[in-house]
């Protein structure tokens, strides 16, 4: 390989590095970085990998630097985007963005932690690398993501202890169970149970308020709490609630008896989690005496499968967010009243195939 004619002095390298550190414009920073690396003797392929630029862009930037020093690398566009993707390029971009992840294109050198999701910064590098095109504003890249059918989403949290294979196996068996029950015992009542603790402390959520008048919520520093057993009837959306100061097998068995009393004749199929107070001799004795009650345990670390979790979330939003109630008893009463007076919709029955067999259950 022939010796390069483009080399930077120590002073030029220092000046470029300082300009890179102080610059807040992403594309200009990329040009500073690429020219500095090339002037230090780094291989073109390595520079392309690091910055996401094409060889043509790199050579153009080096010429601009040679002719006008750092000023040659500053974006002088007055506004708008002088270089836009063509219709064919847009179609190609959309297809390739869904085909590849940033990690597959740039290895570990991605803007997000694991490179699995697209960011504006990674999209900028990608478009520059594939098409030699740069957009001036961040909003241009956001619009491109939307045009390519990407949306801004909050990632769902998943517990580390969650076993996705066990979850998939559970859901497969559950679908078969629901369909079999719909055919063999269509009068079965389907229930989803969970517990929640209520504190006097208010949980904050955003609200609209006049500009300059920030809402103030007085915070109670105590840890006094009360507990709720809650069960959602998956066919009617109604709640059966029990307030308790403790949660143990005895209280759980008592609550199961309340569910049996609320529906004294039909079979009951109850879904709940693997909490320690859901097991024990009192519960075993009650089940032995009431064979029409069948329990199904959700997989470990899978609260998203339980519809009752969504009931708690809705009730907290309605009652305990931003509240100014000074006494826990009154807050708990309002919380319970909201639960028993509200119908909570759930797609659980439809999701696991029940409505395909009994479409008239609603």
- At residue 173, does pLDDT exceed 60? yes
Cα–Cα dist 325/56, whole Å = 66
Of 23-27, 218-222, 318-322, the poorest mean pLDDT is in 218-222
Domain residues of the chain, as ranges?
1-76, 80-152, 167-205+218-357
The two three-digit tokens of residue 178, written as one number: 């629901």
Cα–Cα dist 272/287, whole Å = 15
Task: Tell me the C-alpha to C-alpha distance, in Å, between residue 35 and each of 32, 65, 79, 183.
Answer: 5, 8, 25, 71
Instruction: Give the burial string for 28-64 (b: 16+ CB within 10 Å, else e).
Output: bbbbbbbbbbbbeeeeeeebbebbbbbeebbeebbeb
The two three-digit tokens of residue 75, written as one number: 């974006």
Q: Please tell me the predicted confidence (pLDDT) of residue 2.
A: 53
Cα–Cα dist 96/101, whole Å = 9
Q: Where are the alpha helices (DSSP H) in 135-194?
A: 138-147, 164-184
pTM, two decimals, is 0.59
Cα–Cα dist 128/249, whole Å = 62
Q: Please tell me the predicted confidence (pLDDT) of residue 6.
A: 83
Q: How confident is the model at residue 152 (pLDDT cuts 50, 70, 90)?
A: low
Unique residue bearing structure tokens 């609630």? 241
In the CATH scheme, what is the homologous superfamily, with its name and number, of domain 167-205+218-357?
Ribonuclease H-like superfamily/Ribonuclease H (3.30.420.10)
Count of beta carbons in the 10 Å neighbourhood of residue 207? 9
Count of beta carbons in the 10 Å neighbourhood of residue 153? 7
- Chain centroid to CA 20: 34
Residues 234, 350 contacting (CB under 8 angstroms): no
Residue pLDDT, tens place only, 273-306:
999 999 999 999 999 999 999 999 999 989 999 9
Residues 192, 348 contacting (CB under 8 angstroms): yes
Bigger pLDDT: 180 vs 208? 180
- At residue 86, does pLDDT exceed 50? yes
Cα–Cα dist 44/66, whole Å = 18
Q: Please tell me the predicted confidence (pLDDT) of residue 80.
A: 40
Q: Please tell me the predicted confidence (pLDDT) of residue 131.
A: 87
Bigger pLDDT: 72 vs 346? 346
Q: Is 303 exposed, middle or buried (0-12, 13-18, 19+ CB in 10 A)?
A: middle
End-to-end CA distance of the chain: 76
Q: Please tell me the predicted confidence (pLDDT) of residue 107.
A: 87
Cα–Cα dist 121/274, whole Å = 43
Q: Please tell me the predicted confidence (pLDDT) of residue 156.
A: 63
| Average pLDDT of every residue of the chain | 86
What residues does 191 pair with on adjacent strands? 233, 270
The two three-digit tokens of residue 247, written as one number: 């949660």
- At residue 22, does pLDDT exceed 70? yes
Unique residue bearing structure tokens 């869904």? 98
Counting every residue written for the chain, the total comes to 362
Cα–Cα dist 181/349, whole Å = 12
Bigger pLDDT: 214 vs 360? 214
Sequence-separated (6 or more) residues with CB below 8 Å from residue 34: 47, 50, 51, 53, 57, 58, 61
State percent of the chain over pLDDT 70.
Answer: 87
Residue pLDDT, tens place only, 118-150:
888 889 999 998 988 888 877 788 888 888 988
Cα–Cα dist 138/315, whole Å = 38
Unique residue bearing structure tokens 């904050």? 204
Instruction: Reduce the DSSP state of residue 158 to 3 states and report it.
Output: coil
């Amino acid at each position: 390989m022939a010796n390069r004619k483009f080399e930077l002095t120590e002073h030029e390298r220092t000046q470029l590095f300082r300009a890179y550190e102080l610059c807040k414009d992403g594309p200009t920073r990329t040009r500073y970085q690429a020219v500095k690396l090339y002037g230090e003797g780094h291989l073109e392929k390595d520079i392309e990998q690091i910055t996401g630029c094409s060889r043509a862009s790199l050579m153009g930037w080096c010429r601009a630097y040679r002719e006008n020093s750092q000023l040659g690398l500053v974006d002088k566009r007055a506004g708008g985007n002088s270089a836009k993707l063509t219709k064919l390029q847009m179609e190609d971009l959309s297809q390739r963005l869904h085909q590849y992840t940033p990690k597959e294109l740039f290895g570990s050198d991605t803007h997000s932690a694991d490179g699995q999701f697209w960011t504006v910064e990674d999209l900028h590098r990608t478009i520059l690398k594939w098409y030699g095109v740069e957009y001036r504003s961040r909003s241009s890249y956001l619009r491109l993501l939307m045009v390519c059918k990407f949306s801004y989403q909050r990632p769902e949290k998943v517990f580390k202890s969650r076993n996705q294979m066990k979850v998939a196996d559970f859901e497969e068996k559950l679908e078969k169970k629901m369909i079999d029950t719909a055919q063999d015992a269509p009068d079965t009542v389907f229930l989803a149970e969970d517990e929640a603790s209520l504190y006097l402390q208010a949980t904050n959520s955003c609200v609209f308020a006049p500009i300059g008048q920030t809402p103030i919520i007085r915070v109670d520093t105590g840890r006094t709490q009360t507990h709720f057993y809650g069960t959602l009837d998956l066919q009617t959306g109604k709640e059966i609630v029990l307030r308790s100061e403790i949660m143990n097998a005895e209280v759980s068995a008592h609550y199961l008896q309340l569910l049996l009393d609320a529906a004294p004749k039909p079979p009951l199929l109850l879904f709940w989690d693997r909490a320690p107070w859901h097991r024990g001799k009192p519960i075993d004795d009650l089940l032995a005496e009431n064979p029409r009650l069948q329990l199904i345990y959700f997989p470990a670390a899978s609260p998203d499968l339980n519809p009752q979790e969504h009931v708690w979330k809705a009730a907290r939003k309605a009652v305990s967010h931003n509240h100014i109630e000074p006494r826990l008893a009154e807050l708990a009463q309002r919380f319970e009243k909201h639960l028993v007076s509200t119908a909570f919709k759930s797609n659980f029955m439809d999701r696991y195939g029940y409505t395909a067999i009994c479409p008239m259950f609603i």
